[in-house]
A and B are shown apart, each in its own frame.
Chain A
């Protein structure tokens, strides 16, 4: 490496630099969409459906205020939201931004009401009367496929958005497999629940003839494309600004019907319009995630080596296909990543994306991987039990080995690097498994049961074009751009189309600039979230930003460095190959020029330079695409010890260790923060969070008192150990790990709880493993034991 990067390494790649963005948040100066105040701004509230499925017979606007209430009939020219998967057989669902004729889930928007304050707008919404002809609701995805089920989109003829097949003949394997295990598993529907909800403020800029939309969004450029489509505008007439975003996790990766409504109304009325989602709207009406059902078989030899996995998976996609990810990304991902980090001879998987009378889904942090990891790790535990092996031993026998890297797995995933078995060995050591097993044998004085669980997985981050095209999503990411500009006083402006909603991109992108240019991160200004000033990008999701935008910024800085060397060489009167970039300036044998001197001369004293010095200037636009676009694979092993109370069904986490490989870490502090936070979310998935519905399709969790998020007393201290296998195909060897924590944690906890219950013959087959689910499993096990015991008693 160069001397420059060595000398500046404390602020560059690998430094746990404190964050540039902290100061404003710590002083209450964060600018979230709800903080924006525009002159003449008025508030919007929506009339939302109280029924899950029904025909709208009549909408009666409040007498005397008809002009302040709008229905779909008033929104002339507004097109419905359409997110069509490119996968063959996909059935389209058009989502009108306000309901037309039918409602398909509780909370679907029927009308919008404008007033001076939100409270008054809600009064108007409360006075708007809607009459329905209620229809039977499809609440369960399996029931939705039964003949005679009510139909959400009648012209489909069924309720299946898409069915996919990966076929294989398993007959010979079934004949020779010593071990065959089978599980039926279910994950709960969840709400992603960022602390800040969604929100939109829009106005029409008369001077620029442009719609300006402030929105709490992860991918503002995509929202701009979608808004233009729905409103019939060209994209030049739309500017989307996503200011500070109070958490995303996937919840804000969507074109909202609310965005279209607010934007249309702002154009129609000529004054700014605001809608800020409240928590009840978020929980009752807006997108959920992650409701899966797995019917999974594994076949293995007597040593626990996998021969084949066979799975039928269902995903509850809700009523509509969300823009841009579609209703089927989740199921497509299930099919392609279910084999996990394991080797096997044969693989078969069928998936169904089922429409139900519930809000649409979006990919939540980890997307399908969290459910998939739960399914495959549960079946691996079952194989271990049949083979009479420790669960970690079965993993070691089936994981891809380091000497096999890079490895193309059974679904053609290209695992790029790493030592998966070593992660397992280290995690087992970190948790001191022999001591845990001894404690289990000893038993607890309080009668609680100790359980150990682990989960190992790899995460394809920064997937490239071909991967997303293969999953059929209508928005396929390509080359990631970055714009960089030096100012006359030597400030580096970095403009990236990705966003940051906690990921610390303002800091980490500045660290990459420091690594290449030696510039102090405080002199790097990172601009994100504004389509008016940043290059087009598909945004922040899929653990892609540090790989894609980070690499683009790195390349841009290298290009700037090259140009500055030309300028410096000329000023020093030395040949280009005699000068070098060192400590943030150009150094030659006769002297040096600092960055700020070079920029000042370039912009303000051009008479000192020849006309042909390097005419590119000190502003560059670069794009990045990995050498191969099959993704950078991070991986991890989560190991956890729990105590389960068999009387109360309550689980306490006693110890938690993670061994993680994110390749070259740009900022280890930030990486740890992502892993801790993701793990806390996985703990919520495993133990607490459930968006339940009644048989009529009524949501049963409408407040944060019903939808339980883990707090400081539920999340333990977590230990993280890092391994480092640099990604072979990325600019600095970095891998994405933004979702990692949320992937393995739920599976590891399920494994641990079931390990604790094993002596009682009970196993929980659903998430969350709530006290109720544990007690039900124990009751089933007691009933089964009693049933087995009965004939003997009768005989006696």
Chain B
């Protein structure tokens, strides 16, 4: 066991962890934050994507002990985030989720796209989404939802 100190969803956390425990397991098993879903534990499917120091990160291939001093934000921390509020409404309106399992990771990536790439077109959105697999939607609703939020934000900026 090894001591690690980090911030999880705005709260300072000190915990003893096994060196082999990845961040997703740490959050789910020790912090009971089960909103981060695990899909492949190999960094391929993107289901476990969350924010570490403001950057979308696959929590299944980051060891918890490597997060010393890091600021971790999982899906549970975004209820008062205006961008996430917009994305959630757009995901629902465009039917961008079915079983919901990839959704928290998709939202993390989608939030990154709309904040980092305000001018992204459909092709760019698809490229940026290519690290997040969805088995239900065929990505149609996902691409539309992200486009919709980008449009809304552009219109807001113009206004």
Contacts and interface: CB of A to CB of B under 8 A. Distances in A.
B130 A677 contact: no
B51 interface: no
Main secondary structure of the interface of B (DSSP, over half): loop
Interface stretch (B39-47, B64-72, B149-157): B39-47
Given A194-B99, A712-B130, A26 B135 contact: no
B77 to A, nearest CB: 9
Interface in A194-213: 194-196
A119 B79 contact: no
A244 B41 contact: no
Given A703-B42, A712-B142, A26 B97 contact: yes
A677 to B, nearest CB: 5
Given A34-B34, A244-B100, A680-B139, A119 B44 contact: no
Interface string B38-64: 111110110100000000000000000
Given A703-B40, A712-B143, A718 B138 contact: yes
A195 B45 CA distance: 8
Interface in A362-421: none
B32 A37 contact: yes
A36 to B, nearest CB: 9
B130 A711 contact: yes
A676 B138 contact: yes
B141 A676 contact: yes
A502 B99 CA distance: 4
Given A119-B20, A247-B135, A249-B135, A195 B39 contact: yes
A26 B41 contact: no
B102 A29 contact: no
Nearest to B129: A712
B95 interface: yes
A741 B38 CA distance: 27
Nearest to B100: A25
B13 interface: no
A722 B78 CA distance: 38
B92 A22 contact: yes
Interface in A18-54: 18-19, 21-30, 32, 34-35, 37
Interface residues of B, number: 56
B18 A119 contact: yes
A718 to B, nearest CB: 6
A34 B33 CA distance: 12
Interface string A259-299: 00000000000000000001100000000000000000000
Residue among A27, A119, A715, A741 with max Cβ neighbours from chain B (10 Å): A27
Interface residues of A, number: 55
Given A27-B35, A28-B75, A35-B34, A711 B97 contact: no
Contacts of B103: 25-26, 28, 30
B42 A705 contact: yes
Contacts of A18: 92-93, 95
Interface string A665-696: 00001101100111111000000000000000
B111 interface: no
Contacts of A453: none
A651 interface: no
B75 A704 contact: no
Contacts of B130: 711-713
Contacts of A681: 135
B148 interface: no
A195 B104 CA distance: 12
B137 interface: yes
B37 A246 contact: yes
B92 A26 contact: yes
Contacts of B122: 717
B138 A278 contact: no
Given A28-B35, A676-B138, A680-B138, A245 B42 contact: no
B126 A704 contact: no
Contacts of B129: 711-713
Interface in B98-136: 98-104, 107, 122, 125-127, 129-136
A504 interface: yes
A230 interface: no
A245 B101 CA distance: 8
B44 A715 contact: no
A669 B95 contact: yes
A21 B103 CA distance: 12
A194 B135 CA distance: 6
Contact of B98 (A119, A279, A677, A741): A677
Contact of A32 (B37, B137, B140): B37
B41 A278 contact: yes
Interface string B13-38: 00000101100000011001111111
Interface string A1-26: 00000000000000000110111111
Given A19-B95, A28-B75, A718-B140, A713 B127 contact: yes
Nearest to B104: A28
A333 interface: no
A194 B98 CA distance: 12
Contacts of A28: 33-36, 74-76, 103-104
B40 A704 contact: yes
A677 B18 contact: no
B139 A712 contact: yes
A200 to B, nearest CB: 16
B99 A195 contact: yes
Contacts of A193: 135
B8 to A, nearest CB: 14
Nearest to B20: A119
B127 A704 contact: no
A681 B93 CA distance: 23
B133 A195 contact: yes
A676 B140 contact: yes
A677 B135 contact: yes
A196 B76 CA distance: 19
Contact of A26 (B42, B88, B133, B141): B88
Contacts of A704: 39-40, 42, 44-45, 133
23 contacts: A18-B92, A19-B95, A21-B100, A22-B92, A26-B97, A27-B88, A28-B75, A37-B32, A195-B39, A195-B134, A196-B101, A244-B99, A245-B99, A247-B136, A248-B99, A278-B41, A279-B41, A279-B45, A670-B95, A681-B135, A705-B42, A712-B127, A741-B138
Given A502-B99, A669-B95, 14 more contacts: A22-B92, A23-B92, A27-B76, A27-B79, A28-B76, A35-B34, A195-B134, A247-B98, A670-B95, A676-B141, A677-B135, A712-B130, A717-B122, A717-B140
Interface pairs A-B: 9 shortest CB-CB: A28-B35, A25-B100, A246-B101, A502-B98, A28-B75, A680-B138, A676-B138, A502-B99, A35-B34
